[in-house]
Amino acid sequence: MNIVEGLKWRYATKRFDSNKKLTKDQLEYLKDAVNYIPSSFGLQPYKVFVIENPEIRAKLQEAAWGQPQLTEASQIFLFANFTQYGPDKVEQFLKLGAEINNYPLENSAGYRDLLNGTISSLTPEQLSNWNAKQAYIALGALVSAAAEQQIDICPMEGFDKAKFDEILGLKEQGLTSVCIGAVGSRSPEDKNQFLKKVRKPKSELFETI
């Protein structure tokens, strides 16, 4: 199935079949899609938690107003952005690039100045919002890859982020929760799968100028 047909097939799955789990290969495919999606400057200023532990998921469900996806899905992908991003993380990024592409780290001096200058010009709130936007791009990759592979997914923002942060100890890691992708297999009981997809006509959505 190509990606467009997959996106037509998918829907925001509200009820999952908890007896059906993704295979290791399926899970790794989704991780690869998230890992290879672009981010601003290539920094990937977020972390992705793949949550399987049933006790943790039960607590998260309470912090998501009882939504069943949190416990029924095969896995929960939680995207959390860094609330701070300073020269130390920039240096880690540049060292990784030098190692992978086999060039001297000192060649990155100009890029280092650009990154640190851009980041230092942002207020803490602006930086956190910028990083969160990158996490949403990664969530888009997860949605697209899942659709292409006919893996059901429900992208979610409907949860208490502060409680999620507390349950997962994110604040201590300099992180805050952003969004979720619950993945697995749709339940036959989920009536939403039978609804026709509602989208604007392309003539209204797109304008060529």
Residue 135, pLDDT score = 98
CA dihedral 172, 173, 179, 183 (to 10 degrees): -110
Predicted pLDDT at 152? 98
pLDDT of residue 145: 98
Q: Is 82 helix (H, G, I), strand (E, B) or coil?
A: strand
Q: What is the pLDDT of residues 140-169, one digit of tens each?
A: 999 999 999 999 999 999 999 999 999 999
Using CA atoms, how far apart are residues 42 and 50, in angstroms rounded to an integer?
Answer: 21
For residue 123, what are its two tokens? 């207020």
Q: How far apart are the first and last CA of the chain?
A: 32
Q: Which two tokens stand for residue 105?
A: 């780290």
d(CA 45, CA 119): 11
Select from 186, 197, 200 the least CA-distant residue to 154. Answer: 186
Q: What is the pLDDT of residues 3-40, one digit of tens each?
A: 999 999 999 999 999 999 999 999 999 999 999 999 99
Q: Give residue 1's pLDDT band: very low, low, confident or very high (50, 70, 90).
A: confident
Write out the two tokens for 16.
Answer: 């999952």
- Answer whether residue 107 shows pLDDT above 90: yes
The reported pTM is 0.96
- Distance CA(73)–CA(103), nearest Å, equals 43
- Domains of the chain listed by start with CATH number: 3-205 (3.40.109.10)
> Using one digit for the tens of pLDDT, what is the confidence trace for 174-205?
999 999 999 999 999 999 999 999 999 999 99
Tell me the per-residue pLDDT of 27-80, one tens digit each, with 9 for 90 and over. Answer: 999 999 999 999 999 999 999 999 999 999 999 999 999 999 999 999 999 999
- The tokens describing 103, both together, are 């060039």
